[in-house]
Amino acid sequence: MSGNSPASAEQPEQPEQPEQPEQPERPKQPEQPEPPEQGRSPQPEHGRSRNADSAPPSTAPSPGPTTSPAPTTSPTPMTSSTPVTSPAPVTTPTPAATPAATPAGPTPTPRRRWSLRTRLVVSAVALIAVVGAVIGTVTTIALHSYMQRQLDGKVHEFVVRAQLPRPHEPSPVQGGLDFVAMGGQPLGTVGARVGTGGTVEAGAKLDNPSGPLPDRLAELTRAQLAALTKVPRDGRSHTAELPGLGSYRVESAQNGSLVLGLPLDSVQKTVGTLILIEACVTVAGLVAAGMAGSAMVGIALRPLRRVAATATRVSELPLHQGEVALHVRVPASESDGRTEVGQVGAALNRMLGHVGSALAARQESETRVRQFVADASHELRTPLASIRGYAELTRRGREQPGPETRHALGRIESEAERMTGLVEDLLLLARLDSGRPLAYARTDLSPLVIDAVSDARVAGAGHRWRLELPEDPAVVYGDAGRLHQILVNLLANARTHTPEGTTVTARVRAAADAAAGRGGVVQLEVEDDGPGIPAALLPHVFERFARGDASRSRAAGSTGLGLAIVQAVVAAHGGTVRVGSEPGRTVFTVTLPTVAANSTAAATSAVWDAAGRKPPVTGREARSVGGEAPSADQAAPSAN
């Protein structure tokens, strides 16, 4: 709402706010007086409710121009047409009080939720991977320990053999290292003689399995001998790293006279091969498990998908159109309570049964109410006509009634006429709710708009009325009487809830609608430059008995059925109606499907010939450059 009442213009003086410090980077905005409104009544604008008068204007904020010398950081909005003579406190927040802006940066992507099937498959594959990793690790450790124990046994055996007594003949190898190649040792075997001081005197490595004994051995380097020196002399096998040779299992004799070691290469190669095989088998097993698990989970979830399909079919039923038959149920195979999916299906069936019973009861109650409204409306028409007739007969009698009697008779006639209109509206809504068919025919909207605007001009002489009609006839397939009622209700709504001087425009235009599949649609718009519809009332304007306030007087309120009838008639024609409103502009748009494209020309000619006239206002005239569309003053003579 943009209209202000006098009460809202005279605001009580508020306590003076502390003066805000001036911001050097923002110069004070000069006050801009509001331009005078053209064609508007000097009285304050009242809010509009479309179906009824809106809430009192004093409940809506109505800031006015301020004359306070206090500096502001933004200009005060100018929406009131009544000047304010008293200074109003500036309430515009300073930059210090303004909330900090949201820091710039990439918007976080919402986390994508996995489906139940994906979660089950991933969980199963992850569990298999963990179990496989544990089994592989335990197997690898066990194999490594087993092979190392075997190697330790060989080392101990070779050490014992090296200590056995031999024939007293000179050793062919210098330093007495012939035990390194006495036979049976693998290539890479190392050995060394240890002196009485614990130092290694000589060492050799089995480098060649054949040939003379001296040629089969290779001398160890100082670094390798130093590594052998560090081996504990406890008669047990130990792992030693020999520079250039790798890892060895080394054991010294009980008397500490010699040291012998075998390489760990065979153990490490075997363990490495096992790890590679385990990894390949695990990966292949995980892939196979994932594929098999996906198929098995998909099969297991089929009943759940069938339950979901049943719920989807129920959600697609036209319940909003009065459909109450809920015959869709989950099959018995998916509603067995012994399974989890069966429990869900059984619960869904019970819920559908309860909902169906509730809908049937509600439908029966609504049917009774509609029947009562229709019967009551029909029965009230006769006594109302009698009341109006007797009042008119009394007024026209031989004896002239006095002023008070004439006033009472006028009130009786006006209230009877008002009640007759209400009864007719209720009867029409009851008929539309019952699905009573309308008198459909090919109808051109342009003559209907001309007639409706001409009638509205007579009823609302204080408003300005405009027409915008297309050059070609706008032919639809509908009930001409009900379509005319749509126009009458929309124009009466604009006339009733806007002040005098408001410009009301009735517009007809054709629009392409590929989704309709019926050759396009025709849009009928009723636009005005009034104060607008309150935001709280806007979503409810098409509801029955929707009112902006609780007033029940004719001057301040209405029955709230006009726009409900518009929506019901439009829905009966397979069209839509919507409203857009802001201060200074409100538009009601009715969209109706056109007749088939191949029969439009013939239908247009028949309609224009039956009307006995040609269009008095063309689209070219309505869209003339630099001029306003012809008003109803010009169109009305041709429409009569």
Question: Could you tell me if residue 418 is inside a domain?
Answer: yes
The reported pLDDT for the residue numbered 282 is 92
Does the pLDDT of residue 526 top 90, yes or no?
A: yes
Verify that 379 and 444 share a domain, yes or no. Answer: no
CA dist 478 and 152 (Å) reads 103
Question: Could you tell me if residue 37 is inside a domain?
Answer: no
Strand partners, 192: 203, 259
Q: What are phi and psi of 180, to 5 degrees?
A: -70, -30
Average pLDDT over residues 141-158: 90
CATH number of the structural domain spanning residue 495: 3.30.565.10
Question: Could you tell me if residue 86 is inside a domain?
Answer: no
Verify that 447 and 398 share a domain, yes or no. Answer: no
- Give the count of beta carbons closer than 10 Å to the beta carbon of residue 390: 13
Verify that 230 and 336 share a domain, yes or no. Answer: no
The reported pLDDT for the residue numbered 505 is 92
CATH number of the structural domain spanning residue 346: 1.10.287.130
> In sequence order, what DSSP letters do the residues of 359-404 get, joined into one string?
HHHHHHHHHHHHHHHHHHHHHHHHHHHHHHHHHHHHHTSSSPP-HH
CA dist 173 and 175 (Å) reads 6
The pairing of strands 217-219 and 576-582 is unpaired
Q: What is the dihedral of CA 274, 275, 278, 279, to 10 degrees?
A: -150
- Specify the range with the lowest mean pLDDT, choosing from 485-494, 572-581, 598-607: 598-607
* Domain around 365: 321-436
Verify that 481 and 624 share a domain, yes or no. Answer: yes
Verify that 442 and 557 share a domain, yes or no. Answer: yes
The reported pLDDT for the residue numbered 272 is 93
Average pLDDT over residues 209-226: 75
Q: E strands, 178-313, where? A: 190-194, 200-206, 217-219, 238-242, 246-252, 258-263
> In sequence order, what DSSP letters do the residues of 504-561 get, joined into one string?
EEEEEEEE--TTT-SS-EEEEEEEE-SS---TTTGGGTTSTT--SSS--STTT---S-
CB 304 within 8 A of CB 162: no
Residue after which a domain boundary falls, among 436, 463, 485: 436
pLDDT band for position 271 (cuts 50, 70, 90): very high
Indicate left, alpha or beta for 448 from its phi (over 0: left) and psi (-120 to 50: alpha): alpha
Average pLDDT over residues 406-427: 80
Question: Could you tell me if residue 64 is inside a domain?
Answer: no
pLDDT band for position 590 (cuts 50, 70, 90): very high
Question: Could you tell me if residue 50 is inside a domain?
Answer: no
Average pLDDT over residues 51-68: 39
Verify that 567 and 447 share a domain, yes or no. Answer: yes
- Specify the range with the lowest mean pLDDT, choosing from 63-77, 97-111, 226-240: 63-77
pLDDT band for position 214 (cuts 50, 70, 90): low
The reported pLDDT for the residue numbered 110 is 65
Q: Which tens digits make up the pLDDT trace of 162-198?
A: 777 665 555 555 556 767 777 677 888 888 887 776 6
Helix (H) or strand (E) holding 185: none
CB 235 within 8 A of CB 249: no
339 vs 503: which has the higher pLDDT: 503
Say whether 590 sits in a helix, a strand or coil. Answer: strand
**Selection from 132-146, 370-384, 481-495 with the highest mean pLDDT:** 132-146
pLDDT band for position 279 (cuts 50, 70, 90): very high
Verify that 420 and 447 share a domain, yes or no. Answer: no
Question: Could you tell me if residue 72 is inside a domain?
Answer: no
Question: Could you tell me if residue 387 is inside a domain?
Answer: yes
- Specify the range with the lowest mean pLDDT, choosing from 245-254, 405-414, 417-426: 417-426
Q: What are phi and psi of 223, to 5 degrees?
A: -65, -40
Verify that 489 and 625 share a domain, yes or no. Answer: yes
Verify that 377 and 482 share a domain, yes or no. Answer: no
The reported pLDDT for the residue numbered 212 is 64
Q: Which residues of 489-507 are buried (b: 16+ CB within 10 A; e: fewer)?
A: bbbbbbbbbbbebbbbbbb
pTM greater than the 0.75 cutoff: no
Residue after which a domain boundary falls, among 384, 406, 436: 436
Average pLDDT over residues 258-262: 86
Verify that 388 and 534 share a domain, yes or no. Answer: no
CATH number of the structural domain spanning residue 157: 3.30.450
CA dist 484 and 462 (Å) reads 22
Residue after which a domain boundary falls, among 390, 411, 436: 436
Q: Which tens digits make up the pLDDT trace of 468-502?
A: 988 888 888 888 888 998 999 899 988 888 899 99
The reported pLDDT for the residue numbered 286 is 92
pLDDT band for position 516 (cuts 50, 70, 90): very low
Indicate left, alpha or beta for 517 from its phi (over 0: left) and psi (-120 to 50: alpha): left
Closest CA to 525 of 418, 406, 622: 622
Question: Could you tell me if residue 11 is inside a domain?
Answer: no
Verify that 430 and 459 share a domain, yes or no. Answer: no
Average pLDDT over residues 322-346: 82
The reported pLDDT for the residue numbered 122 is 92
Does the pLDDT of residue 328 top 80, yes or no?
A: yes
The pairing of strands 503-511 and 464-468 is parallel
Q: How many domains does the chain have?
A: 3
Verify that 474 and 572 share a domain, yes or no. Answer: yes
Does the pLDDT of residue 205 top 70, yes or no?
A: yes
CA dihedral over 48, 50, 52, 54, signed as positive or negative: negative
398: tokens are 């031989």
Arithmetic mean of pLDDT over the chain: 72
309: tokens are 């399909």
107 vs 69: which has the higher pLDDT: 107
205 vs 557: which has the higher pLDDT: 205
The reported pLDDT for the residue numbered 176 is 66
257 vs 96: which has the higher pLDDT: 257
